[in-house]
């Protein structure tokens, strides 16, 4: 057997090892119930509950933004995001939060939002009426 | 229907050019194909000429399409959907390029543009390789052109669409009632360019990156040509030059993306392992692996097969990257916004076609690829270079594997609908922990392999020299690593190892540069690149590990959240205007802001203080925000970076008072304020109590303030008030004096009556959280409402006098060019101003000039008002026979006694910013290192071009 083959086999072995370990870095989107049970850091996907309040008072703490998220099971839960309120948060179609359950709040340290792609509605390309 | 104002000709020409570009690329691919197949027959030259001609026609057509789209964009012909979607009337000319490649169709065209340019260069330089290389390139162009073809194939309600045509008309793509009117174009406005992209980076980054992507096709074409012609050695020489070019440009493009993210966006870093970043890095890694295999092949005859595979993979990964980023499959895993084109299957076919061609060629030609009989020596440069290339391959497999998770999800979900899609929980650490080892291996290899020789002839004799240099370099690197750990705080041994690998790459390549090649620039390319890689590693460690958020504020953070991890997420500080705050060894003060256009630039002052409070350094930062059109929302927060040689202080605004961010919120806030009505008498003070909430929220304090009306005027000045003719204004000067303290504040709220509507312009005293506005009833009291007035009629000839309410007045004459601000002249008006000289109670004289005019056979009039007297005058008719003119006069109720104002306390302060500041130590090492690495590739290319 050539040396190159030994190296190749070694690399494949390492690759398989790493790939098997990788699963630990991954998770499916959790729900609030699962986050409650596990207590671990999870990712939760859901949508903003627009009817409920969003609280951001930078004069009290610029790093706290509270809102309600509806997870994929339809359960609504209060979220504390440890960030300044993101731009255009209300427009997000989907919100993905990384964090864990703490007491009665889901404390999120990171977020990703998916914003709607360009609208195809007529109003978008109509000039604003001058009044 | 006949539409008005459309410009259909350029569109028709464009469609023709698209069709022509597609067919010509097809013809070119075919002709070059036959030129290759029949290369040994006399007709080959004819085929080649047809191929050339067709490719030139294709190139000209591509340029025409681009030219036409630019023409449409510059003229803002919104009847074209692409123009409407990406430009707007207020888009500055310098962003037209950015708008062009903002859309997918435009970026495909940019890609094809570079392929055409590269194709023309290849025609002139490829020599005997022209036909096979151009045949493959033309075939790639056929597929790329199909992306913008916009042809429907099939029948029924849902025909398959091939490509998305950038020259489609808006009215053909969108169904909307406005297209029922022939002059719909008057109603259409452009969407404009995303404000985040209105940035010079958007002008220079995409062309560079796309040239990088486009250039990967050339080594690919040469690899295909080598396999196709079974000429496994000759192709490597031209391919190497192109690969060096591609590596340098693609690397530069990726680096620019990082610089953009770092400098202009608020990601807080230059690399985030975002899928889009990953998928541009991976083709580059494969290109670099290909360069190494190519060098090995040229110098020793080994690794030829690997060179084929790496170059092929590099191009296929560009296609895969295109698929991932443009199909929308990445969805919410990326911060980059994707617009879907609905061309997923077309992209898959594109990939599959070239994957198929590559696999077929590799398998069918496998046996003929030369492999030296003797195995490469373990102690040879070619062996370790090849191992290095394998490490790069390994890195690519890991990165692409993790990035492809959404693809995996999609496939599994297809077979098992109950499958829950998987995501990487913590993206950055996930990639870092594996790629760290790649960095260690590459750092060590790129140093050690330099001391080795190709086809080592006499290792037993040479190994002493090798061990001496490698050993000394390693020893010195260990010492330097230990030393630099004083500066870089790395807590895990893995980081120490990476640091060591970085130092080793630097030291050994410096050694190589000095003692082995004695500074000969012709041989120095690889040393530069590897040296740069080492410097880059140290820069990554310094700026990444010791990245420090200095904008946390201990006083506001106390005991709100437990747990270290969440604490680390607290990265912002709130700054009130003019109030200095302590911040990690700095004293920070929000000084003020200025608005220019849609940009609001803030000035934040930082003073570096030592433990005794002594200021050692002071500077200003200028982060800004960009409002959208109409100032209703914030479109972008732009960072500001203070640069030092050894670190950067990166700052940006993360939040503003809601009333500053959102016009809607401003309106609601105003409505919800608890205003108390107060009557202010001129000259007299009014004392009121104000409750002040304290921080612990259970107690409150009473504060006494005195309001004094210092004056009333009828020409108010207010920052938000834009005076218009016909306005009747009322302004007040009010002094507010808190009982405690010796400062007092003077504010000037205003009230304006425009037509039948009253507009209030409140004034805010942020220091007292107090807001004051004039009550609307002040109109009644100070100005009077015309409907409530009792007008008296006077018929006067010029020069006659009369008396009204005890005030004598004289009709002094007429003015054929009336000077009344309420009167706006139009063509064909017949207008006369009547000059009334009125003597007030104290003998002071006033002049009123009401206007009488005839517009379109209708008699009309404009009143005049003397605020000081409360006197209204109208000029209502002229009797030409008797030369008498009729005036109407009225005076509002007796002079005002009190000015009604509304005062709200506890109005929210609107004079603060939420601010973030990050220190990136040693970030310049990253930039210098990566640029050095790329310039090494460039130097390699230049040396080889000279050596022809």
What residues form DSSP beta bridges with B810? Answer: B801, B837
pLDDT value of residue B693: 47
Using the predicted structure, report yes or no on whether residue A124 has a pLDDT greater than 70.
no
pLDDT value of residue B115: 97
Q: What is the DSSP string of B260-300?
A: HHHHTSSSSSS----HHHHHHHHHHHHHHHHHHHHHHHHHH
pLDDT value of residue B307: 96
B435 burial type by CB count under 10 A (0-12 exposed, 13-18 middle, 19+ buried): middle
Find chain B residues with C-beta within 8 A of A118's C-beta.
85, 191, 339
Cα B560-B566-B569 angle, rounded to 5 deg: 105
Helix (H) or strand (E) holding B583: strand B581-583
* Backbone dihedral region for residue B850 (phi beyond 0: left; psi -120 to 50: alpha; all else: beta): beta
Find chain A residues with C-beta within 8 A of B390's C-beta.
7-8, 11
CA of residue B647 relative to chain centroid, distance: 24
How would you classify the pairing of strands B728-738 and B700-713? Answer: antiparallel
Radius of gyration of chain A (CA): 22
Residue B82 contacts residue B15 (beta carbons within 8 Å): no
ipTM beyond cut 0.90: no
Is the CB of residue A54 less than 8 Å away from at least one CB of chain B? no
* Number of neighbours of residue A102 by Cβ within 10 angstroms: 15
pLDDT value of residue B906: 62
How high is the mean pLDDT of chain B? Answer: 86
Select the highest-mean-pLDDT range: B340-354, B378-392, B700-714, B852-866: B378-392
Q: How confident is the model at residue B675 (pLDDT cuts 50, 70, 90)?
A: confident
Q: How many domains does chain A have?
A: 1
Candidates B318, B289, B296, B141; CA nearest to B233 is B296
Residue B270 contacts residue B185 (beta carbons within 8 Å): no
* Number of neighbours of residue B879 by Cβ within 10 angstroms: 11
Q: What is the pLDDT of residues B427-486, one digit of tens each?
A: 888 899 889 999 999 999 999 999 998 888 888 888 899 999 999 999 999 999 999 998
How high is the mean pLDDT of chain A? Answer: 78
How would you classify the pairing of strands B871-879 and B864-866? Answer: antiparallel
A65 belongs to a structural domain: yes
Q: Two tokens at B556?
A: 């506001």
Task: Indicate the domain borders of chain B.
Answer: 1-193, 197-378, 673-784+899-904, 786-891
Find chain A residues with C-beta within 8 A of B416's C-beta.
none
Using the predicted structure, report yes or no on whether residue B697 has a pLDDT greater than 50.
no
A83 belongs to a structural domain: yes
Q: How far is A6 from chain B (nearest CA, A)?
A: 11
Q: How far is B561 from chain A (nearest CA, A)?
A: 10
Using the predicted structure, report yes or no on whether residue B784 has a pLDDT greater than 70.
no
First to last CA, chain B: 64
Nearest-angstrom CA–CA distance, B149 and B162: 6
Q: How confident is the model at residue B553 (pLDDT cuts 50, 70, 90)?
A: low
Q: For testing the chain B interface, which of A125, A129, A131 should be mutated: the one with the most B CBs within 10 Å?
A: A125
pLDDT value of residue B643: 92
Is the CB of residue A38 less than 8 Å away from at least one CB of chain B? no
* Number of neighbours of residue B445 by Cβ within 10 angstroms: 21
Using the predicted structure, report yes or no on whether residue B866 has a pLDDT greater than 50.
yes
Read off the DSSP letter of residue B450.
G
A112 → closest Cβ in B332, B630, B634 = B332
* Range with lowest mean pLDDT among B148-152, B360-364, B825-829: B825-829
Q: What's the average model confidence in pLDDT over B72-90?
A: 91
* Range with lowest mean pLDDT among A111-115, B238-242, B558-562: B558-562
Using the predicted structure, report yes or no on whether residue B568 has a pLDDT greater than 60.
no
Radius of gyration of chain B (CA): 38
Q: What is the pLDDT of residues B724-761, one digit of tens each?
A: 766 778 888 888 887 766 678 888 888 888 877 788 88
How would you classify the pairing of strands B624-627 and B634-638? Answer: antiparallel
Using the predicted structure, report yes or no on whether residue B357 has a pLDDT greater than 80.
yes
* Number of neighbours of residue B802 by Cβ within 10 angstroms: 16
Q: How confident is the model at residue B576 (pLDDT cuts 50, 70, 90)?
A: confident
Q: What is the pLDDT of residues B476-532, one digit of tens each?
A: 999 999 999 988 888 888 999 999 999 999 999 999 999 888 878 888 899 999 999
Q: What's the average model confidence in pLDDT over B807-820?
A: 83
Q: What is the CATH number of the domain that holds A41?
A: 2.40.50.140
* Range with lowest mean pLDDT among B80-94, B264-278, B641-655, B669-683: B669-683
pLDDT value of residue A1: 60
Candidates B274, B401, B404, B398; CA nearest to B329 is B404
Q: What's the average model confidence in pLDDT over B375-400?
A: 91
pLDDT value of residue B556: 40
Cβ contact (<8 Å) for B420 and A4? no
Q: How far is B891 from chain A (nearest CA, A)?
A: 32
- Identify which has the larger pLDDT, A119 or B899: B899
* Backbone dihedral region for residue B548 (phi beyond 0: left; psi -120 to 50: alpha; all else: beta): beta
A121 belongs to a structural domain: no
Q: How far is A29 from chain B (nearest CA, A)?
A: 7
Strand, coil or helix: B796: strand
Q: How confident is the model at residue B564 (pLDDT cuts 50, 70, 90)?
A: very low
pLDDT value of residue B702: 56
Q: What's the average model confidence in pLDDT over B792-818?
A: 85
Cβ contact (<8 Å) for B190 and A125? yes
Residue B244 contacts residue B944 (beta carbons within 8 Å): yes
Q: What is the DSSP string of A87-125?
A: TTGGG-SEEEEEEEEETTEEEEEEEEEE-------HHHH
Residue B328 contacts residue B343 (beta carbons within 8 Å): no
Q: How far is B814 from chain A (nearest CA, A)?
A: 35
Cβ contact (<8 Å) for B188 and A85? no
Nearest-angstrom CA–CA distance, B405 and B385: 31
Nearest-angstrom CA–CA distance, B693 and B356: 73
Q: What's the average model confidence in pLDDT over B59-79?
A: 95
pLDDT value of residue B554: 47
Q: What's the average model confidence in pLDDT over B634-650?
A: 89
pLDDT value of residue B563: 40
Cα B879-B884-B885 angle, rounded to 5 deg: 80
Is the CB of residue A29 less than 8 Å away from at least one CB of chain B? yes
pLDDT value of residue A131: 33
Nearest-angstrom CA–CA distance, A14 and B406: 23
Q: What is the pLDDT of residues B146-202, one digit of tens each?
A: 999 988 887 767 777 888 899 999 888 877 788 888 888 888 888 888 777 888 888
Cβ contact (<8 Å) for A109 and B566? yes
- Name the residue with tokens 């990554």: B540
Q: How many beta-carbon pairs under 8 angstroms link A with B?
A: 145
Nearest-angstrom CA–CA distance, B222 and B229: 10
A78 belongs to a structural domain: yes
- Identify which has the larger pLDDT, B553 or B849: B849
Using the predicted structure, report yes or no on whether residue B280 has a pLDDT greater than 80.
yes
Query: Which residue range forms the structural domain that includes residue A34?
Result: 27-114
Cβ contact (<8 Å) for B561 and A82? yes
Measured in residues, chain B has a length of: 948
Cβ contact (<8 Å) for B560 and A61? yes
A1 belongs to a structural domain: no
Strand, coil or helix: B466: helix
Q: What is the DSSP string of B385-445?
A: HHHHHHHHHHHHHHHHHHHTHHHHHHHHHHH-TTPPPEEESSHHHHHHHHHHHHHHHHHHH
B373 burial type by CB count under 10 A (0-12 exposed, 13-18 middle, 19+ buried): exposed
A129 belongs to a structural domain: no
Q: What's the average model confidence in pLDDT over B528-546?
A: 94
A81 belongs to a structural domain: yes
Q: How far is B353 from chain A (nearest CA, A)?
A: 28
Strand, coil or helix: B524: coil
Using the predicted structure, report yes or no on whether residue B225 has a pLDDT greater than 90.
yes
Q: What is the pLDDT of residues A15-65, one digit of tens each?
A: 888 877 877 788 788 888 888 888 888 888 888 888 888 888 777 777 888
Q: What's the average model confidence in pLDDT over B838-861?
A: 83
Nearest-angstrom CA–CA distance, B599 and B577: 19
Q: What is the DSSP string of B154-186?
A: S-SSS-EEES--TT-BHHHH---GGGGSTTGGG
Residue A125 contacts residue B84 (beta carbons within 8 Å): yes
Q: What is the DSSP string of B586-601?
A: EEEEEEEEEEETTEEE
Candidates B885, B832, B886, B872; CA nearest to B854 is B832
Residue B804 contacts residue B891 (beta carbons within 8 Å): yes
Q: How confident is the model at residue B691 (pLDDT cuts 50, 70, 90)?
A: low
pLDDT value of residue B334: 62
Using the predicted structure, report yes or no on whether residue A126 has a pLDDT greater than 70.
no
């Amino acid at each position: 057997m050539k040396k190159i083959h030994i190296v190749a086999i070694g690399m494949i072995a390492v690759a398989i090892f790493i790939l098997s370990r990788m699963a630990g870095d991954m998770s499916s989107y959790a729900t609030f119930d699962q986050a409650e049970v596990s207590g671990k850091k999870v990712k939760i996907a859901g949508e903003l509950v627009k009817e409920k309040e969003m609280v951001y008072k930078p004069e009290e703490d610029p790093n706290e933004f509270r809102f309600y998220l509806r997870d994929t099971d339809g359960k609504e839960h209060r979220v504390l995001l440890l960030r300044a309120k993101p731009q255009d948060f209300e427009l997000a179609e989907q919100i993905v939060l990384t964090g864990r359950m703490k007491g009665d709040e889901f404390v999120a340290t990171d977020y990703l939002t998916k914003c709607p792609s360009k609208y195809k509605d007529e109003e978008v390309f109509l000039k604003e009426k001058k009044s | 229907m006949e539409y008005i104002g459309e410009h259909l000709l350029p569109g028709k020409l464009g469609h023709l050019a698209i069709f022509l570009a597609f067919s010509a690329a097809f013809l070119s691919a075919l002709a070059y194909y036959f030129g290759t197949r029949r290369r040994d027959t006399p007709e080959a030259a004819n085929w080649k000429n047809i191929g050339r001609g067709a490719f030139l026609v294709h190139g000209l057509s591509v340029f025409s399409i681009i030219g036409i789209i630019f023409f449409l964009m510059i003229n803002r012909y919104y009847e074209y959907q692409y123009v409407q979607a990406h430009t707007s009337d207020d888009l500055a000319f310098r962003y037209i390029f950015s708008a062009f490649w903002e859309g997918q169709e435009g970026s495909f065209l940019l890609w094809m543009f570079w392929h055409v340019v590269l194709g023309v260069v290849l025609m002139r330089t490829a020599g005997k390789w022209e036909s096979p290389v151009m045949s493959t390139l033309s075939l790639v162009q056929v597929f790329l052109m199909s992306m913008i073809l916009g042809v429907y194939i099939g029948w029924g309600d849902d025909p398959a669409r091939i490509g998305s045509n950038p020259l489609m008309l808006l009215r053909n793509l969108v169904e909307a009632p406005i297209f029922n009117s022939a002059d719909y174009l008057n109603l259409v406005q452009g969407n404009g360019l995303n404000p985040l992209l209105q940035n010079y980076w958007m002008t220079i980054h995409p062309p560079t990156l796309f040239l990088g992507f486009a250039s990967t096709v050339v080594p690919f074409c040469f690899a295909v040509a080598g396999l196709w012609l079974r000429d496994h050695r000759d192709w490597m020489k031209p391919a190497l030059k192109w690969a060096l070019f591609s590596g340098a440009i693609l690397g530069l493009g990726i680096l620019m993306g990082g610089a953009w993210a770092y400098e202009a966006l608020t990601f807080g870093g230059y690399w985030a392992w975002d899928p889009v970043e990953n998928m541009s890095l991976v083709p580059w890694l494969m290109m670099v692996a290909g360069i190494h295999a190519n060098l090995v092949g040229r110098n020793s005859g080994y690794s030829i097969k690997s060179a084929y595979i790496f170059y092929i993979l590099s191009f296929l990964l560009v296609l895969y990257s295109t698929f991932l980023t443009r199909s929308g499959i990445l969805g919410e895993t990326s911060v980059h916004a994707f617009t879907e084109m609905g061309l997923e299957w077309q992209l898959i076919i594109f990939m599959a076609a070239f994957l198929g061609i590559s696999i077929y060629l590799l398998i069918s030609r496998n046996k003929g690829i030369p492999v030296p009989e003797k195995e490469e020596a373990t102690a040879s440069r070619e062996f370790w270079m090849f191992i290095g290339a394998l490490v790069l391959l390994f890195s690519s497999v890991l990165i692409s594997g993790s990035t492809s998770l959404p693809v995996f999800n999609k496939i599994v979900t297809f077979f098992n609908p109950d499958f829950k899609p998987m995501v990487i929980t913590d993206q950055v650490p996930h990639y870092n922990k594996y790629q760290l080892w790649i960095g260690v291996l590459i750092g060590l290899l790129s140093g050690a392999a330099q001391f080795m020789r190709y086809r080592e002839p006499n290792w037993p004799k040479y190994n002493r020299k090798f061990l001496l240099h490698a050993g000394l370099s390693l020893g010195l690197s260990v010492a330097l690593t230990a030393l630099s750990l004083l500066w870089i705080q790395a807590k895990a041994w893995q980081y120490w190892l990476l640091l060591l690998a970085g130092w080793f790459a630097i030291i050994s390549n410096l050694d190589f540069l000095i003692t082995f090649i004695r500074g000969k620039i012709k041989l120095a390319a690889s040393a530069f690149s590897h040296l740069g890689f080492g410097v880059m590693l140290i820069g990554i460690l310094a700026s990444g590990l010791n990245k420090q958020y200095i904008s946390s504020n201990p006083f506001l953070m106390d005991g709100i959240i437990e747990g270290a991890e969440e604490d680390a997420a607290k990265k912002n500080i709130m700054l009130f205007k003019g109030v200095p705050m302590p911040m990690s060894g700095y004293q920070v003060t929000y000084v003020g802001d200025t608005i220019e256009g849609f940009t609001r630039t803030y000035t934040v002052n930082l003073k570096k203080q030592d433990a005794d409070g002594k200021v050692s350094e002071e500077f200003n930062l200028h982060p800004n925000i960009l409002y959208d059109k109409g100032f209703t929302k914030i479109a972008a927060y732009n960072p500001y970076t203070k640069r030092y040689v050894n670190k950067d202080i990166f700052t940006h605004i993360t939040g503003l008072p809601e009333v500053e961010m959102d016009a809607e919120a401003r309106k609601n806030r105003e409505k919800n304020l608890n205003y108390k009505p107060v009557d202010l008498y001129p000259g007299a003070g009014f004392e009121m109590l104000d409750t002040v909430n304290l921080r612990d929220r259970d107690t409150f304090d009473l504060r006494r303030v005195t309001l004094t009306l210092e004056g009333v005027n009828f020409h108010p000045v207010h920052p938000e008030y834009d005076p218009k003719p016909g306005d009747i204004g009322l302004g007040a000067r009010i002094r507010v004096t808190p009982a405690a303290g010796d400062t007092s504040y003077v504010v000037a709220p205003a009230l304006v009556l425009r037509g039948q509507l009253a507009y209030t312009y409140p004034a805010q005293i942020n220091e007292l959280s107090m807001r004051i506005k004039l009550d609307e009833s002040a109109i009644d009291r100070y100005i009077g409402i015309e409907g409530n007035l009792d007008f008296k009629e006077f018929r006067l000839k010029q020069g006659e006098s009369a008396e009204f309410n005890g005030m004598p007045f004289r009709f002094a004459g007429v003015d054929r060019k009336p000077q009344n601000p309420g009167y706006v002249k139009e063509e064909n008006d017949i207008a006369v101003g009547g000059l009334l000289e009125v003597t007030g109670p104290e003998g002071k004289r006033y002049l009123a000039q009401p206007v009488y005019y005839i517009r379109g056979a209708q008699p009309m009039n404009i009143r005049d008002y003397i605020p000081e007297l409360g006197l209204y005058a109208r000029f209502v008719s002229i009797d030409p026979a008797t030369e008498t003119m009729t005036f109407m006069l009225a005076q509002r109720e007796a002079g005002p006694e009190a000015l009604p104002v509304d005062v709200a306390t506890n109005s929210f302060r609107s004079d603060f910013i939420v601010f973030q500041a990050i220190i990136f130590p040693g970030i310049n090492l990253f930039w210098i290192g990566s640029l050095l690495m790329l310039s090494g590739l460039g130097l390699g290319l230049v040396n080889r071009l000279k050596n022809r």
